[in-house]
Structure formats: C-alpha cells, structure tokens
Structure 1
Amino acid sequence: MIERQENDTAMSITESLGIQGWRHLDPAVLAALATEMPLLLVGPHGTAKTELVKRLGKALGLEMRHYNASLINYDDLVGIPMPKEGSQYLEFRHTPGSIWDAEFVFFDEVSRCRPDLQNKMFPIVHERTVAGIELEKLRFRWGAMNPPMPEDADLTEHDLYFGSEPLDPALIDRFPFILTAPLWRDLTREQRRDLVSGKTPAASMPRQIPTLPWLVDMVEDCRMLIEELRLDLSEWLSDYTVSVVDLLEQAKLTVSSRRAVMMFEALLGIHAARMLLEGADCDLESSAEFTLLYCMPYTATPFPVKTAKLIAIHKQAWQIASLPEDDPGRLVLEELDPAKRIVLADQLNMSDSDVSQLITQALGSEQNEARRIGLATVIYLAFHRRRNLAPSAWDPLMQLAARVLTPRTASVQLRAGAVTDIWNEINGWLVPLEDCGAVTSRLERNFVLSGFPDLWLRYDWKEELRKFQQDLGLFNLKDGRDL
C-alpha cells in the first residue's frame, strides 16, 4: 500500500510552488502535465486547489484562463458572436477573457455550473474544441469542485456544500485524473506550523511567479519517458488494466471503455513521473496502485469508493497479471467473490495450502457475522472429510461452525418487544424436528435457531437464511449427500 510520507531528498513540484501537503500528489500532477490529459481537483474550500493551478500556469509560462464556472456565460468563453462580413455565418470577436488563445484552461466551481454550460464543457475538456472549432493552442484543461452534497445528507453535519451538485457522469468521465485535495488533518504538524507562521515559501512567493525552466524541462522529460515505457511495458500494463476493469465490474464499480483507456495512459504517465521525482528504481506496482486511487470517477461523486476496497482490487489484479493465462491460480483470482473463489480452487484441484489461504481470506473479509458463521459452517461440512486444511483455516472454521453444529440448549425470557416479534416469525417458519427429513432442512433449522436472539436483532434472519441456502447450493451440499 502506498503510504503518505514526505521524502526530503526528492524533488517536489507542489512544494516548490509554496503549496504545503500536496507532495504525495506530485506524480499525478506531473503525469497530467506530461500527458496533457484533463485533471479534476475535489475538496473543500481553502485547500489550495485554485492557488496550485494558478501557480502552475505561471511557472510553466503559459497563457492561462481561469473561469468561475458558477458565474460565466458561454459568451465569456467564445467572445462576442458577430455576422461574418460577406457571409451568412457568424464569427467570434475575441475578448481578453475568451478561450481562443489559451494554453491552460481552469474551470473552477465546476459542481456549481449550470447543466447547459456543463454540456458545452465536454468538447473543450475532451476534444479541445469549442463550437466545433479546434483550440489549436490549448494544452491543459483542469477543473476544481467542492464535494457534491448527497440527496439524503444529514444537514447537521459540517462541510456540506449547498449548491454543489453531482456532475453529469459523462463530464466526470472526461477527467482521467481526479484528485482529492489534502485537508488540514492531512498535514504534518511541521507543515501546519510553517503554514500558519508564514515560514512556508507561499508567504514570500511573488505575485508574478517567474517561469521555472526546470519544471518545463521535467514535463518534457516525462513526456519522452512515457514513450520509452510504452515500448517496454505496454503488453503487461494492458493485461493489468483489463484485470482491474473486470474486477471493478464484478464489484459493481463499472467504468467506461474510455476510462479503461485513460487508466492505461495515466499509469504510464504516473510511473514515468515517479521515476523522475523519486528515482528510476521506484516500483511499478506502487505506480499501479496510485493510478487506481487517483483515476476513479467515483471520487467526484457523493459516494467515493473506500480506499481499502480499491487497494484490494489492485492487489488482486496485480496477482492476476503476474500469472500466465493458463495458470489455475489466475482463473481463481479472476473471480471476485471469495466464496466462489474457494469452490473454483477446489474444482481445479488446487493444493490444500492454497485452499486454506482462500478460506482464511474469505472469512477475514466477511464483515457480516451471521454470513461468516453460515459460510464457515458450509465450508467445514464441504471439506472436513476430504481436505487436509492448514490450522489457520481449520481453527476459525471449527469455532464458527460449532455455533450451528454443536447441540445445545438455550432459554430466552420473552417479553413484549423486538425479541418476541422475531421469535414469533421464526416459530411460524419452524418445521417440527421430526418432520425435517432432509439433512439440509435440519441445518437450516439449526442455523436460524443458533442466531436467536442476538444475531437476529442485528440482521434480518430471513435474508441471512437465504444466503445460507445459497452457500449450501454453491458448495454442492443442497441435497445433503456429501454431509
């Protein structure tokens, strides 16, 4: 996992511009500059989003346009439409703020932009055209926004941005790089002290920032290095990218084909950037993880994906890409569902050690205690006679399955309330033990009774029973013959 840390010996683009706490994002910033792919900054007010972009434009010596997307009209972008002399067509009279001569365009407050203007941003951001006319000088298209407010937001919470609306998914998909701006709590104590005391370079940064030749050269060096890496790594990284996108799809985090292409290009750019910023020996796997974390469209939505989930998908995709296509282990890893992965490994006659590891991972990743107990019971019954599993797998299996499989008596005093209501539901479902002919019927009965009352006060017993029945079928135990 990539750790957020400061390396005093490495070059920092953002710190050289007087921006504190952004150093870990330098590879994405450099990659976006070298690839000239759009970048979107997401974060609360006062996190230096706008200041960073303005200083970058000046440091690169670029003709820049900064538009507040919540205030501008289309005419502010294109100029004044006038009839073209001797023609039935219109031409645009350029104004000092029009976009035609811009090399770097920054759309601020994108999430407060009118929908009709968002639609007009699409070709500018993605195609570098406006009104069907190519913007020949335009290289960089960046944007910034506050986090959009969920429809069901708790209005008593802090840091809610009224008026910050979710972007059209199609517009988000035009931004390959989507970065979350660091917050105060993300800064080290030293950075905080420097910031408030004025010791940061930002305090003495002149209003007219001079062009930084070393930064211009670094962007060009990164661009050339990307093409070298493309020749060396294209086949391997394309396999990794396909695996990532497939796993995202299985995790119901669908991304577009466009996003898949952009992720591949971003990965080349980020690895080249890290090589220049951190040294040629930086590892490719960390670059791949970094890319997945900072190129996900969900970051710009009210419900960003948890970092741990993305890292787990990255690690699985990395393992997949590291194995030959006909390797049984690869087939197993390509399955995202942990329980299905165990069944597939068993069908492919993988070793007891490999199956044990998959079992440990499945139990450890399951947050629902009722499902974990049910799954452990099913796995124990499926393998206890024919698999010599490692203790690391057997111990949790037996401890969890004992709740369902070990005979015991229990008494619960029923009073009016939730416990009694749940029991009445269960009692209405229960079949007398003597009428439970099939072994699986008895198992289902034991599973439901073993969870009363504590589990069913937290989980819906009918839904958990359905999952238990599905697991019995998945491990081919539904008919009870292998029990």
Structure 2
Amino acid sequence: MARKNELSRLAGLGVYGFDAVEPLILAALVTGDPLLLIGPSGTGKTFLLNTLSEALGLEHRHYNASLISFDDLVGFPFPDKDGPGVRFLETPATVWGAESVLIDEISRCKPEHQNRLFSLVCERRIQGIPLPRLRYRWAAMNPCSSDQGGSGDYSGSEALDPALADRFALFIEASDWAGLTEAEHLFVADPAGEGRIADDGGALRRDVEGWTRAFDAGVGDCPSDILRYVTTAISALNSAGIRISPRRARFMTRSLFASVIVTGHFSERQCKLLLRASLPHACWGETPSREAVAAAHRLAWDVVRDSDRRWLPAFLAEGSLPRKLEILLDNCQSPDEGTQAVAELLAMSPPDRAAAFAFAVYPAAASGKLPVGAEGVNDLGKRASPFLSASGLISWAERLAEKDTDHPDLVRYAAALAGLTGGRAERAKQFFNGCLVRKCKVADPASLESEIQQCVEVLKRRGLV
C-alpha cells in the first residue's frame, strides 16, 4: 500500500480514483469555471466535490436536482415592506451567501428547473440577482439512460440540454471499480477514514490562492503554444463533424493554462487529458469518434511542437477537396508531413469524402507524384482500392409490400451521372458503384462528383497525372 507521503493531493484528503485527472480538477479550482462529474453511482463524485468545499473552507450548498424546488434555492418570497419588490426569506439551505454550489443528479432535474439553472451556472445569478460570493458551480450526474436498459442503465437520468452542458468547462469521468488501481481498491475498501473531516491544515486553500494569483496575472497574456493547441484541436474536431462551440475554446484555454500553473509544466499528456475532458457530448449520450479526437490531438500537438507544420490546420479545416489538395501540394515539406496530413484527413473526414479524396489522388500518389510517404500511400490505397475495382454484391432492404424495387441510391447517383461524358463519366460511375458495394452513403452525389473531377484537374494542371 502507498505510504501517506506518496499520496496525491486528493488521496491525501481521502478521495481516491481521481489521480489521473487531478491536474484538471485543481485547474477548475483555479479558474472557477463550472465543473461536471459523470459516472456510475458510488464512484465518489459527490464525495469529491463536498470534500473540496470542506478542505477549502467554503460556505457550501449541496442540492439534489431530482428533489429540489425553486423555493429551496431562493427561499420563500414575501413583499418588500420598503418598496414594490419581492424579498426572499433566507434559510441555511438557500443559495444566498454560498461560495460553492453542488447540483447533484443534474440529469434528473425537472425541465423547468433545468432552465433556471442556466443563470446560476453561467452568470452566478438567480432571479436576475447577482450572487457575489459564489465562486464554484459544480454538478454531478449518472450516464444518460438508454432505450435498451440493462444493468448499467440509469432510469431517469436524462440527456442534458446541450445548451446547459456547454456552460460547463470540464467533464470529468469518475472511474468505476475496474478503473481503479490495486492500491486504490485497498484505500476505498478501508473503513478507517469513514466520516473524517477533510483537513489538510489549509494547504490546499493556500496553494489554490497562490495558483489563482498567478493565473489572474498571466491569463491576459496566455502563452501562444496553449492558444495554438486549443485553436488547432477545435478546428480539427469541427472539421470531423464533432461540434465544439466558440465558448468552449475559451474554457479550454483557461483550463489548460491553469493546469500548467498547477503542475509547473506544459506537456502532451496535459493537452490530451484536457481535450478529452472538454467534450460535452457524454451529457446527452453521444460518444465522439475516438479516432477523430486522437487525430485532432496529434495534429494540434505537432503544430505546437513543429512550426513547419502549421499549414496542417488549414488543410484539415478546408471544406473543399480540391483546395485541400492544393494546400498539400503547396505547403508540404516532406513525405512524413504528407503522411500525417493524409492520416488525419482519412481519420477525421466523413466516409464518403475520405473515399472520394483517396479515389481521386491515389493514382498520383502511387506513382510517387505526391509529397506523401510510403505509409501515407498505403493508407490512400486501402481507402481507394474498393472504389477503383468495385466488385461484389449490391444489396438493399425492401418493405414487405414491395417487390423488385431499385436500390434507393440508384436514382440519386443516376442524377449525378446525367450529362457526364468520356473519362469523367466512367470515373464517376466507377466511384458510385464502389459506394453501392461498400454501402458508403453519399450525402450529395453531384457535389462530390464535381469535387473529384476538380481534384483530377488540379493534378493534370500540375503535370502529376
């Protein structure tokens, strides 16, 4: 078992299972931006947040969102004897005077109450009245329930309104038993610390105050590497269809800068941790593509590390396939850069667009005419080959009352092929046949065919095919 002097800050307070994300939790104490914990029941979410308030000596309020009424927050309203307004009868449970608020089970909150939490979480206001002492706004929830149910399903834990979820800066996933280390198993199972007061002699409070002073002094001139990482990663995620709001960009920058202050260094691990914890999608039951998130991180970190690769964000953010190709041809400095660009594009693009790009450029890449290394050529070939030589069974489902129907996409593809002649027509027919065989759904056949043709024309103008 670990000795006491080896424990992390949170473990030293009797909170276990959060060591991996501790820098982000401490960063949230520095920024004061809203924090949301997500995880199965019994994983210490509520205990963590209540313990932090205790260790920091905060005037704390803990509300269960599934049970709370609005009067519990503000108190009983009564006429102001000195004017036409309304005053509220305060109790020890009302939010007035609180320095930290935990909204537990926020995903079980009634919709009308959820709407009222917007101003509390985002503006530190209630009923339009400022809460000047309120610094920390925290929440906790179980994973969203599903239609299928099951042992891991939480009935009544509904998807959070994306607009409310986007008001939280960080989303920390609490580990279940399988995610804990053997040492953490022993700590969690040991009843010796049951009911103890979280008292570290004020060490955490003093450190948070010092980190906050450093944060306030430096956040107005945030290091360029932090800004570059955040903006590159967000552009890459949005290009991959994983929407990240402009508001979240500022949250991410603040959180990453605060974590650098807390840990004393800027590292790839911090950036990867921050990126994953900044995605709000779990709040409404979505799981962003792990490959796309990993690709966005790799790209952003490489841009920070290597100034020569700063063309890559523009390459990935560009929506037009022929323009992407031109950026690659005009800016790529080495086969390794080209290989990375191709890998990120294929990982982050929708399947139909990734296939179209590979289909259009693979012949030139295979001939050594593109600034792409052998691994990148191989990646393009794997994606393009089913479309370059499409063979296989085309199948589709018919309704019980229907017989001898055509494939539902044939009409759409035929419309895109209408009027095409010569090599362009053959190329388009070959690509769409591959789409039918591979069951690759094309969002806009005519537009995608036009982009494939423009890519071919770019290669021809430059003498690459």
Contact 1:226 / 1:269 at 8 angstroms: preserved in 2?
yes
> 2:148 corresponds to which residue?
155
> 2:278 corresponds to which residue?
295
Contact 2:239 / 2:317 at 8 angstroms: preserved in 1?
no
> 2:122 corresponds to which residue?
126
SS of 1:248's partner is helix
> 1:269 corresponds to which residue?
258
Separation in 2, partners of 1:343, 1:168: 40
Cα 1:89–1:469 shift into 2, 3 Å: closer
Higher radius of gyration, 1 or 2? 1
Q: CA deviation at 1:58?
A: 1.6
Separation in 1, partners of 2:381, 2:87: 78
Contact 2:291 / 2:347 at 8 angstroms: preserved in 1?
no
The answer to whether the aligner puts 1:469 opposite 2:459 as a matched pair is: no
193, 218, 227: which is aligned to 1:204? 193
> 1:100 corresponds to which residue?
96
Q: CA RMSD in A?
A: 4.3
319, 327, 341: which is aligned to 1:358? 341
**Letter in structure 2 aligned against 1:72:** I
> 1:382 corresponds to which residue?
364
**Letter in structure 2 aligned against 1:378:** A
Cα 1:411–1:144 shift into 2, 3 Å: closer
Q: CA deviation at 1:105?
A: 1.2
CA deviation vs aligned residue, 1:332-389 (integer Å, no higher than 9, x gap): 3554889864442124475555435534555677896x98776544323334374475
> 1:176 corresponds to which residue?
169
**Letter in structure 2 aligned against 1:438:** G
223, 229, 237: which is aligned to 1:240? 229
Q: CA deviation at 1:140?
A: 1.5
SS of 2:456's partner is coil
Cα 1:398–1:229 shift into 2, 3 Å: same
Separation in 1, partners of 2:5, 2:321: 42
Contact 2:4 / 2:12 at 8 angstroms: preserved in 1?
no
The answer to whether the aligner puts 1:60 opposite 2:53 as a matched pair is: no
Q: Following superposition of structure 1 onto structure 2, how do residues 339-358 of structure 1 map, counting pairs within 5 Å?
A: 341-348=324-331, 350-351=333-334, 354-358=337-341
**Letter in structure 2 aligned against 1:14:** L
Cα 1:402–1:7 shift into 2, 3 Å: farther
> 2:417 corresponds to which residue?
none
> 1:30 corresponds to which residue?
26
Contact 1:346 / 1:355 at 8 angstroms: preserved in 2?
no
289, 298, 301: which is aligned to 1:315? 298
Cα 1:186–1:86 shift into 2, 3 Å: same
Cα 1:350–1:256 shift into 2, 3 Å: same
Separation in 2, partners of 1:148, 1:192: 26
Q: CA deviation at 1:323?
A: 6.1
Cα 1:399–1:165 shift into 2, 3 Å: closer
423, 437, 441: which is aligned to 1:439? 423
> 1:224 corresponds to which residue?
213
**Letter in structure 2 aligned against 1:292:** L
> 1:283 corresponds to which residue?
266
> 1:3 corresponds to which residue?
none
Contact 2:252 / 2:278 at 8 angstroms: preserved in 1?
yes
Q: CA deviation at 1:411?
A: 10
Separation in 1, partners of 2:140, 2:232: 30
CA deviation vs aligned residue, 1:163-221 (integer Å, no higher than 9, x gap): 2122222221221122111122211234224433x2xxx64244444464111112112
TM-score by length of 2: 0.80
SS of 2:138's partner is strand
CA deviation vs aligned residue, 1:302-322 (integer Å, no higher than 9, x gap): 113244432321332333455
Between the aligned residues of both structures, percent identity stands at 28
Contact 2:59 / 2:98 at 8 angstroms: preserved in 1?
yes
Cα 1:109–1:319 shift into 2, 3 Å: same
> 1:140 corresponds to which residue?
136
Cα 1:61–1:157 shift into 2, 3 Å: same
Mean CA deviation greater in 314-323 or 208-217: 314-323
SS of 2:66's partner is coil
> 2:17 corresponds to which residue?
21
Name structure 2 gaps, 5 residues minimum.
Answer: 399-403, 415-419
Cα 1:460–1:29 shift into 2, 3 Å: closer
372, 375, 380: which is aligned to 1:392? 375
The answer to whether the aligner puts 1:116 opposite 2:98 as a matched pair is: no
CA deviation vs aligned residue, 1:391-446 (integer Å, no higher than 9, x gap): 4345565677666667x9x899x9xx9xx9889998xx99xxxxx96123334455
TM-score by length of 1: 0.77
Contact 2:169 / 2:252 at 8 angstroms: preserved in 1?
yes
Q: CA deviation at 1:41?
A: 0.9
> 1:433 corresponds to which residue?
none
Separation in 2, partners of 1:118, 1:354: 47
Aligned residues: 452
Mean CA deviation greater in 213-222 or 84-93: 84-93
Cα 1:373–1:215 shift into 2, 3 Å: closer
